[in-house]
A = this chain, B = another copy of it.
């Protein structure tokens, strides 16, 4: 009656969802103050005021058909030109507007890219733990397979020897997610260069053109003026999947893009394959209103100071108590070492104190929990005694 794979995907409640439901029950029983919900990566910082101002301006100045009508499938030409110009200004790299395909967010950018690239013989994708679990879903939906490279527990950077071994003649692409969900780690230039060297070597060995897929919805969310390398500057066969969900706090509006480096092998054909994949997955165009909004707000950024304040409070408080944490340089996640081997059991104990922490197992990192600190500063403050109590339970 239905597709079994799709049913399983719809039926399998994620751990995050389970935690969320638990939180709702607990709130009903003990009140809102009894729950410290660190489970969801839903930005809590408002969209910059320019967003709503721009929407109002567009509604007041443009014809209804211009604002709400179909755009071409890759998106408005003027919006793509603005994105291209912005990339040039910021990263000194030329991606012409014809290589930009505006998407309904990063998830669409990834599914479209993977469907455009996968061939019968070559549909293996490699990513680095810890990683966003939907990569499994998206690669499978593109008839592909995801292979996960383990990480160095000290630096949280990829185990490069394992990476080198994982590459084969079947490898189609390597997915890099930096700033990283769930660890908040940002790969420095040296790490990127090493990753690229290994890919170049594999290309020679297997006579391939492995594609580097840079999934970067958290690019703008970095602290302490840290440098986030722009991958097309380091490797020719690169496709960037970008989203405005976090940079403009618009996650529900689904707006982002695919940028195909013009230096990619057979770039023009890949651009057409991207358009074909978008068409076959039912993406007609991204929201026409929000295409115009991001065009006008291309240099606007969400208030990162609020996230930084959160990061400093949670990171400093937890390390002071005695927790081992990876200092997040970007995104809004903190990855904390579990106080017992089984992070699920640890998460269960935390739950009893109202702390909703996501076990790292699904992210490919057993023995850790993820905290999404895109929450109110006040909630973080109020949660510290519970973290202390939890720590003491293990002493």
Name A residues whose Cβ lies closer than 8 Å to a Cβ of B.
1-11, 42-44, 46-47, 51-52, 55-56, 59, 63-65, 67-71, 104-105, 107-112, 115-119, 134, 137-138, 140-141, 209, 249-254, 265-266, 269-277, 279-290
Contacts and interface: CB of A to CB of B under 8 A. Distances in A.
A141 B280 contact: yes
Closest 4 CB pairs of A and B: A252-B288, A9-B276, A10-B276, A111-B282
A79 B67 CA distance: 23
A248 to B, nearest CB: 8
A158 to B, nearest CB: 25
A173 to B, nearest CB: 11
Contacts of A59: 52, 55-56
B117 A280 contact: no
A70 B252 contact: yes
10 contacts: A1-B265, A4-B119, A10-B277, A56-B56, A104-B282, A109-B282, A252-B287, A253-B288, A254-B284, A289-B289
Contacts of A115: 3, 6
Given A1-B269, A2-B119, A119-B3, A107 B252 contact: no
Given A3-B273, A272-B11, A104 B68 contact: no
Contacts of A282: 104-105, 107-112, 138, 141, 281
Contacts of A118: 3
Given A9-B280, A108-B282, A2 B64 contact: no
Contacts of A65: 42-44, 46, 249
Given A112-B282, A276-B8, A287-B290, A1 B64 contact: no
Contacts of A119: 1-4
A9 B115 CA distance: 12
Given A3-B118, A10-B272, 16 more contacts: A3-B115, A5-B280, A6-B276, A7-B269, A9-B279, A9-B280, A42-B65, A42-B69, A43-B65, A46-B65, A68-B251, A69-B249, A107-B283, A252-B288, A253-B287, A289-B289
Contacts of A71: 252
A112 B282 CA distance: 8
B254 A285 contact: yes
A115 to B, nearest CB: 6
A7 B118 CA distance: 11
A251 B104 contact: no
B1 A252 contact: no
A296 to B, nearest CB: 15
Contacts of A67: 252
Nearest to A101: B10
A281 B3 contact: no
Given A6-B115, A117-B2, A284 B68 contact: no
Contact of A104 (B70, B137, B254, B280): B254
Contacts of A269: 1-2, 7
Contacts of A252: 67-71, 285, 287-289
B253 A283 contact: no
A251 B288 CA distance: 9
Contacts of A44: 65
A6 B137 contact: no
A270 B69 contact: no
A337 B317 CA distance: 76
Nearest to A285: B252
Contacts of A281: 111, 141, 281-282
